[in-house]
Every structure is written in C-alpha cells, then in structure tokens.
Amino acid sequence: MPSAAVCGYAGKILRVDLTTERITEEALDEATLRKWVGGVGLGAKYLYGEVPPEAKWNDPENRLIVASGPLGGTMVGGTGLVSFSTKGILTGGATSTQANGFLGAFMKTSGFDAVVFQGIAKRWLYLYIHDATAELRDARHLLGKNTWDTEDSIRQELGFAEQRMSVFCIGPAGENLVKFAGIFGDKDHAAGHNGIGAVMGVKKLKAICAPLGATPIRVAHPRKLLAAIENIWREVQAHEGSRRIFNLGTGGSYQTGEERVALGTLPVKNYLTNLYPEAPLMTCQYVREHWHAVPRPCWACGSRHCHMVTITDGPYRGMKVEEPEYEMFAAMGSLVGNTDPVETLVLANLMTLLGLEGNEAGFLIAMLIELYEKGCLTKEDTEGLELNWGNTAAIRTLLERMARREGAFADMLAEGIKHAAEQLGPEAKACGVYTVKGHAPRGHDHRGMWREMFDTSTADVGTYESGYLGPQDPDTYGLKDRFSPEEVSTHVARAKGRRQFEDVLGSCSFCTRARLATVVEAFNLVTGWNFTVKEAQDVGYRVSNTMRAFNLKHGVPIDREQPSPRWSSAPTDGPAKGITIAPHWEAMLDIYYREMGWDRATGKPLPETLRSLGLDSIARDLWT
C-alpha cells in the first residue's frame, strides 16, 4: 500500500544535506511506519542506519532527525509535539528529546512527517517548510539573536503572525557550541538534553520553521476518534495527580509545594538539605495570583500549562516572561538557594533566551556555589563573581558568560557539569550531581525518587527513558514502593515500552496520561490499524533496544551506568533521611538487565530479544 494512503501521516520525509544545500524528498512505506510509527521511532531508525560508529557529534555524518508522529496535527490533545534525535555530546551516544508547541502539527500540515539533516553548512541557514516543499534561507542576519528575537525576526521576514507559524531555533549558547545548549521554539518550549542545540549549531542551522499548512491530516475514523479523545480526557481527570498537572501544569503545588517537600524530592542547595519553606512561592498558583498571566496553550491542548506572564510590580515591572514549568522553578529557585519568585521567573526566562538547557545549568551553578561557600573557589577563580546562595545577580552574569563562552572560567563551564567537576578537582567530583555517562539529571532530588535516578543512569537517550506509570493503569506495571530495589528496577524496565511508545505518537504525555489501552484505541482510530497493547509496547521496546545497540556500537561503556557520589548519597534531613540507593545499585542492574533481556556481562540485548522485536539485522551486528 502506498504511504500516501496511510491515515495519520503525510507520507514523506525531507532529507536536507546542509553541505550541498540540497533538499530531497523520500516516501515512507507502510511497513516502515508500522515498525517505527514516528517521532523517536524514526529517530532510532535513521540514527542506527546512517551514523557510523567513528562519527562524532560534530561530524558531517551525524544526523539530526526532527519528527512528528501519527497523532500529530489531529485533535488529540497536545499533538504539536516534535521529537529531536541525534548523536549527543555529553554522553557520546544516542539522544532523543521532545518539545511541545506547534511544530509537529505545522510540519505535517505543510506536507512532511519528518526532516533528516546531514552535513555541515558553509554558511548559517534556516529551513523554511511550506506548501509541501522546503527551502534553505540565509540566516547570517540572525546570528547573536536570542531565541525569542530569532522567532520574531523569521515570522516578520516571512509574513506570518505568531500563532500561524512555528519556529524552533538556537540562541547564543547553540551558536557558541555550549555542550548543554538546547533547541527552543514557540517562545518557551524546549528540546534540551545532551547538547542537542550544539549539534544544530555545529551544522550552522539557526532555525526550523513551518506555518500552519493546507495539507489535511487524514483520520480513519474521525467520529469515533472524538469519543476516544473524550475517554482520554475522562481518565486523565479521574486520577488526582494527572488532574492537578492538567489544571496547574508541572509548576503547580503538586510538583513544587508542600507535597514535593514532604516527599523529599525537591532539590535544595545542591542536595545539602531537603528543607525549603519558600516552596509555595515557586508555583504557578503564586505566579498567577500575583501577576498578569495569559494562557498560551499548545496545539489542540485544553490543559492549563502554558502562560505568558507580565510582571506588574517591582524592578521588572512590564517585563513579559513565560511561566516556568517545574524544572525551571527548581533550577533557578531551590537548587541555587534563591527564595525570590520574581527572580526565578526572570532567570528561567533568561535561560530560554540564551538557549541553555536549564537542568544542567541549575545543577552546574549549584555545584559552583557550594564550592565557593566552602572556599574551594575564590572570587579570582570565578573571574569576579560572588557565587553565594541566592545571589541572582551573579547567577545572571554567569549564565550570560557561559552562553557566549566569555572568559576562561565560563568557557570551561560551557563543557558541562561532569567536565567542570573533573577540572575543578576532588571536592567538585564529590559534590556534583550528574550521571557518570556525562549529563545532569532532571531537576529533582532523586534520592527520594529512586526510579528516575535509576532510569536516567541506565537510559540510552541522553535523559530519562521510562517515566512513571502509576498503579491506575492495569496495562502497565505500577510502582508502589519508591525505595524497593527490586520493584524500582523492574518498574523501569517494564515502563519503557509505554513511555517510548508515547514518544513515537507525536503527542504530549501529559495529555495522554490515560490507560495505555485507551491511547492505543485513539492511535488505531487515527491510522485505521488494529494494534494491540502488546504491539504498542513492542514498538517502545524496539526503539529502546535500537538506541541501546547504537550506544554499544558507538563505544558508550556500560560501566558508566552509575550516579555521581552526591547524586546517590543519603539525605541528611527530610523524609528520606539516611536512605541511599548506593548499596543496592549492582543488584538493581542485575534485575533490570534480566527484565530487559540483555546480557549482564556486555550489556548487549540478547539475540532472542532483538529477533522478537523484528531487529534481526541488529542481532547480527551485535553478536557476530
């Protein structure tokens, strides 16, 4: 069956050779789509098939895959999501990171399911997708602009209003190849992990943009899909945690207020304490009550996450910023000892403008402040900055310097937290929070959240890979005891199929926090297929095992699947006081490898595991 007949898809990808500035189109056949579906699935396919092991992140042979999925551009909530995949910087391995907004929907309505970038341009360019075609345009006039100004300039140049065109771009951090630069779009949506913005920067690609196009997204059963969307919404609203996130965003009190403190999972002063009485100030409720907040939802999304905030008092009066999500509240609030919510808003927004991934920046600055407070760093070392807890003026200056690599100190920090810890000596290695693979985790105190610490350390995509699947979903394995070594390691393995399946669909996981069977029903109604829950999970495991195989071929050793000493230490206070995952780590790896069907000695997926997922060629690659 020709790809054009497959509902839910445009049926084509763009291949962009930046070296030659040549753009070609390729058809996607139905067999490929059923095997990889979309999103990170297409990312895994092209990464494994086209990036040779000897290619580094900055090699012309590295690929950057930007992909939507079959739900993208439909009326399923949050289906403007887009997935970015590449060979990342900090780990030297596979990377996949998703961003919400509009690009996934607009790219599909402009005629394409995905874009595969290769090569390195000779001049700065941006890609303009429109009317079932695409063109590369000169971007040299955009150099040095922050992400918001870049967006506005491109829309003005092409004659589109803000809500009619999606622009994703890099800021000064990506241009200067900061190794934790991200890709930002539609003002505050971020694809941030594993230096993906620097990959875009080394390719001299400033931006990707697409307007809302005229290509219809064909749905196999549109009327039945409306009922399925209603079912998803009801199930999201039926679960208290999902309902609160739907109504408040991740920056609501569920994530950062008293409940988060009560669990011991709010990161405070580089993990030196779990006590932070100012937590209720760092919430979207506080922001919306004290300043002027206007909703800015993503494509087809009814949740109340995204708001544009105008600060109405104080020294920043009149400034417009995006309301932070939880991780940015944490990064520029509790983690760095800041107790002023308006400063948190301004600093979080500054990281977006500069194009810095906020989790890495937060943990890096927190480590530096602890070293400065201990006397391990001096004002001379920091090139004049007094890095004390809560010194937001110094933090602001440091963010600016790192994004532009201004000065030897900031240039060294721009290489990432693990590199900085190794350069700064034993005290830094002892107190830095990072994976031994090379990147910082998301902004939590994972000593009270073992599943995400274990997941992030063992994942093969440059960030966490399994997510949390609660006991409300009988299709998956729910986690009941967050401090059970056996249950946590088993959960991470069993949840992987669900989470990776979500990331192939082109939909926001917060909008599809329903039972997997309900989500699969919507997927089938869009495509006209008849996937079972097991087949959907197999897609997720196929992606995960392919990324694992990519990392093994590219020399990412399994002995790096470890947390840094501070990250896995025992809290000195709070509800998780004295509890540590460290003594259980090797036993948890034993369980995890067994559950995944991987060889414990080498980390390789076993031949029978790969063959069961239709990955026979990868089995031959790894085991001959």
Confidence band (pLDDT; 50, 70, 90) for 2? very low
Average pLDDT value for residue range 256-270: 80
- Please state the rounded mean pLDDT for residues 1-6: 53
Write down the domain spans for the chain: 3-211, 251-431, 446-623
Full DSSP string of 521-552:
HHHHHHH-----HHHHHHHHHHHHHHHHHHHH
The string of pLDDT tens digits covering residues 550-574 is 999 999 999 999 999 999 999 999 9
Cα–Cα dist 557/383, whole Å: 36
Q: What is the CATH number of domain 446-623?
A: 1.10.599.10
- pTM for this predicted structure: 0.97
pLDDT per position as a tens digit, 278-290: 999 999 999 999 9
Q: Which of 598, 459, 522, 452 is nearest to 69 (CA)?
A: 522
May I ask the CATH class of domain 251-431?
mainly alpha
Q: Which is higher by pLDDT, 544 or 244?
A: 544
466-500 pLDDT tens trace:
976 654 565 555 688 999 999 999 999 999 999 99
Contact at 8 Å (CB) between 521 and 514? no
Name the CATH superfamily housing domain 3-211: Aldehyde ferredoxin oxidoreductase, N-terminal domain (3.60.9.10)
* Mean pLDDT, the chain, whole residue set: 95
Rounded Cα gap, residues 284 and 341, in angstroms: 10
What's the Cα-to-Cα distance from 330 to each of 173, 440, 571, 615, rounded to whole Å?
A: 21, 14, 18, 40
| 350 φ/ψ sector (left φ>0, alpha ψ -120 to 50, else beta) | alpha
| CA–CA separation, 617 and 151 (whole Å) | 42
As a whole number, mean pLDDT of residues 367-381 equals 98
Local structure of residue 150 (DSSP, 8 states): H
